[in-house]
Amino acid sequence: MKRLFDIVVSGIGLVLLSWLFLIVAICIVIDSRGGVFFRGPRVGQYGKTFRIFKFRSMKPDSEGKGKWNVGDDDDRITRMGHFLRKTKLDEIPQLINVFIGNMSFVGPRPELQVYVDMYTEEEKPILDLKPGITDYASMANFDQFETFTKAKDADEAYLKYIRPLKLKLQLYYRYNHSFFGDIRLIFWTVYKVLTRTQKVPKEILPIMEEHKKYIAQLDAE
């Protein structure tokens, strides 16, 4: 049922948003040299590598050059890229990944190989699932772009503050997901994007509170 939902809804979305794809593509081409899409390698289900579709928000061949995680003040980001990242429009082309089958609407966000290589045996079951456009970690770390901007070292901030919570929430999803739960997460994602609310699904609040205590203890050491 989930795969059928992904095919039908992503197909409809691609048709209905074709006008937006065209407008954004023109703006990207006018703004800077390089292609319309970013096609970076990501680790998918069962550890298989695939190339993710995003609207290009950085100068060509910028990923990993200096650091993996990017704040708003990073000079690799194009003028159009700042807008795309702030509005999350850079993520829309992942509908293509959903349609062709290497991603789903809901699932653990696809990760870079460098971070997957750090997985413990406890964390590896995350790879049993198809990666998604959104998940619980996306709800909890909705403003991670701002965290990277404020940090002296964005990669260090990711490893210290964002990744631990992300893994806990992805493991929670791994063992508690359902089709109707996915539908609910899709509506939550739309709500977050439109309202910029700080609210999150109530079922992950205990995990987030535990993480806050962990960070407070870490910073106190």
What pLDDT, in 10s, does the model give residues 7-48?
999 999 999 999 999 999 999 999 988 889 999 999 999 999
Q: Which residue has the tokens 């631990």?
A: 164
What's the pLDDT score for residue 142? 73
47 conformational bin, left if phi > 0, alpha if psi -120 to 50, beta if neither: left
Contact yes or no for 32/59 (Cβ under 8 A): yes
Task: State the Cα–Cα distance between residues 87 and 15, nearest whole angstrom.
Answer: 21
What pLDDT, in 10s, does the model give residues 146-201?
666 566 777 888 888 889 999 999 999 999 999 999 999 999 999 998 998 889 99
What mean pLDDT value characterizes the chain?
89
What's the pLDDT score for residue 213? 86
- Bigger pLDDT: 214 vs 129: 129
CA quadruple 164, 167, 171, 172: dihedral sign: positive
